[in-house]
Amino acid sequence: MPACPPVAMPLLMSNQRIKTPCVGLCSTVYGDLVCRGCKRFHHEVINWNGYNDEEKRAVWLRLEVLLVQVMAAKLEVFDADRLRLQLEQRKIRFVPQQSPYCWAYQLIARGARVISQLNAYGMVLLPEFREWSLPELRDAIDREFFLLSEAHYQRYIAPQFLRDGLHVND
């Protein structure tokens, strides 16, 4: 799997800070434990503005690791410089400090309906996905990213909430 460098505080291309992973499609307001938009956990969405830089970096890093896992199983970024240039030219937001596989996700999420040749963007689909349309692939990536986030929540976060709840009633 491609390496994920440590995540510094994210930046927009215009050098304005991206303050949150939020993509404006929050489902935690409807009771989801994991947001279907940004894939953060409900308590992270609620408490985000109170988190210090280290806590925010931990969330950003977890999201990056899970997304890279999904993306690297579907495509190969063979020219990160070309991908970055295409994102900049098209004014697509991305976090420069993150893996190019995260950049690829941003491109596919924003341009799935208009991109015809992925190799022009420095990436190629793996053989088992070459017959898929980009909108189909985008939706499959999003579902898998959500399922991994949800599984991470169930495995590592939910048991702690259960333990914490038991001690409150003692």
User: Which amino acid type is present at position 8?
Assistant: A
| SS3 of 121-143 | HCEEECHHHCCCCHHHHHHHHHH
- Return phi, psi of residue 166, to 5°: -65, -35
Per-residue pLDDT of the chain (170 residues), as tens digits, is: 444 444 444 444 444 456 778 777 777 777 778 888 899 999 898 989 999 999 999 999 999 999 999 999 999 999 999 999 999 999 998 999 999 999 999 999 999 999 999 999 999 999 999 999 999 999 999 999 999 999 999 998 888 766 665 554 44
Give the pLDDT score at 56: 94
Give the pLDDT score at 146: 95
Quickly list DSSP for 7-75. Answer: P-S-B-TTSPBP-----S---GGGT-SB-TTT--BHHHHHHGGG--HHHHHHHHHHHHHHHHHHHHTTE
| Distance between CA atoms of residues 24 and 37, nearest Å | 7
CA distances in angstroms from 80 to 63, 86, 121, listed in the order given: 20, 10, 9
Give the pLDDT score at 150: 94
